[in-house]
Homo-oligomer: A and B are copies of this chain.
């Protein structure tokens, strides 16, 4: 019985329960290891398997990959992102998608050979279930994202994102009760993701800060002081300055 291949030893895709490679038997793992190629990307690097001649199925071990595209007006958009554990199958993807894959933070990926991947999917029901589930999850996230982009108010979008991303991070291994987390990418990327301007993101964050709902720490850490209020804004819309007593309103204005 072969031992775990060296390259797979520390990889999250193998180590983490519920991630694709964790469901493989030794033979499958060995075979896939021989038909895969790990790669480390720095923030800002593009993936583009077509150009680099790498396999078009990508497992994300750690980090975040975004689907970035440049619009005619020069503005960037991030239509989606993929997280640790996601399997991204680029076969049949529209050109704009596989040319736009870009690391939003430093990221480890693993390119998989389609042949072996399909073979495993056919033979191993657990692996199939995981791959299917991953693709489903991507779909659900995209649905949420679309629903989100339709929201009107900037503050709502930001509140939703913080609330949502905290939950994703929790799954991602963080502490469930953690009320602070590290924003994984720049505000400018967040603006692209939420379809707004960087300036507007900044202003929205300032409003949440002024209301005492969040507090920014060092190194892009965001501390959530009032999760209920955050969810309230994210889910039920913003019901803000109107019903504030004089006193509080004054405080808010001061804070701004």
A: which residues have CB within 8 A of B?
67, 69, 71-73, 77, 79-80, 89, 92-94, 96-97, 118, 121-122, 125, 128, 132-133, 135-140, 142-147, 149-152, 192, 195, 235-237
| B143–A67 touching, CB < 8 Å | yes
Contact residue among B67, B89, B149, B236 (Cβ-Cβ distance under 8 Å from A149) = B149
Chain B residue at minimum C-beta to C-beta distance from A137: B92
Shortest CB-to-CB span from A45 to chain B, Å, is: 20
Shortest CB-to-CB span from A224 to chain B, Å, is: 20
Q: Could you pull out 27 A-B pairs where Cβ atoms are within 8 angstroms?
A: A67-B143, A67-B147, A71-B150, A73-B237, A77-B150, A80-B146, A89-B132, A92-B136, A92-B140, A93-B136, A93-B140, A94-B140, A94-B143, A97-B140, A122-B122, A122-B125, A122-B128, A128-B128, A132-B132, A132-B135, A135-B135, A135-B136, A139-B139, A142-B143, A142-B146, A145-B146, A146-B146
| B79–A146 touching, CB < 8 Å | yes
Residues of B within 8 A of A94 (CB): 140, 143-144
Shortest CB-to-CB span from A239 to chain B, Å, is: 9
Shortest CB-to-CB span from A92 to chain B, Å, is: 6
The 5 A-B pairs with the shortest beta carbon distances in the complex, nearest first, are A150-B195, A72-B237, A142-B142, A149-B149, A79-B146
In Å, the complex CA distance between A149 and B77 comes to 10
